[in-house]
Amino acid sequence: MKMVFNNKRSFMKSEFEQGHHWCRHRVKGCGFRMTIGREAVLDVLSRTEDHLSAEDIYMLVHETYPAIGLTSVYRTLDMLVNIGLVYKFDFGDGRARFELAEGPKGKDHHHHLVCTGCGRIVNYRDFIDEEVALLKKTEEGLSKKYNFAITNHLIQFYGLCEGCRKK
């Protein structure tokens, strides 16, 4: 899986040309240039179900594209969050975590269950439909009453997983 590239161009062509067309178009459509670093960050995000921190992403991208700098990872993530391609979460451990807004197989709306003991995060899709239905209704009511244009919501459950409960 790990590969070494002689130069940046060979890296770019080899594996990324295939996927993430929509992402790339979105980035360019928003007036940003599609660079190797940005492509690599998107690629890392698209290959995982985990909730990676900026440094996690930096280290993963670094494996195949060592020229990347942590600063650029932060800047790229910031841009991707701004154009809505990536979600940024705070699970209470002092570092932001990131997730592709649209999963590899299309829409993949889920919410999070966080273990306050070990930090483990479960993506759950159960009850999502009911939750989203209620959220939509709530959203409409709140929009009207408080005159907000609601763009997003966040639902998380906190608790202790089995392992952490035994301590």
Partner DNA sequence: CTTGTTATTGAAAACCATTTTCATGTGCAA
Partner DNA sequence: TTGCACATGAAAATGGTTTTCAATAACAAG
In the complex, minimum distance from the CB of residue 66 to DNA, in angstroms, rounded to a whole number:
9
Nearer to DNA, 12 or 135 (CB): 12
What is the Cβ-side half-sphere exposure of residue 11, based on CA atoms within 13 angstroms? 22
Q: Which span sits near a copy of itself by CB under 8 A: 1-9, 18-26, 42-50, 133-141?
A: 133-141
Shortest Å distance, C-beta 77 to DNA: 8
Kindly tell me which of 6 and 147 has the beta carbon lying closer to DNA.
6
Least Cα distance to 97 among 154, 162, 22 occurs for 154
| Alpha-carbon span 100 to 86, nearest angstrom | 4
Instruction: Find all residues with CB under 8 Å of 96, minimum gap 6, and list them.
Output: 53, 54, 88, 89, 90
> Which one, 2 or 145, has the nearer CB to a copy of itself?
145
At 141, the amino acid letter reads G
**Residue from 13, 47, 55, 158 binding a copy of itself (CB under 8 A):** 158
Q: Can residue 84 be called a binding residue for a copy of itself (CB under 8 A)? A: no
Residue selected from 57, 61, 77, 115 as contacting a copy of itself according to rule CB under 8 A: 115
Residue 137: which residues within 8 A CB-CB, separation 6 or more?
A: none
* β 111-115/121-124 pair status: antiparallel
**Could you list the residues that contact a copy of itself (CB under 8 A)?**
88, 90, 92, 113, 115-116, 122, 124, 126-127, 130-131, 134, 137-139, 141-143, 145-162, 165
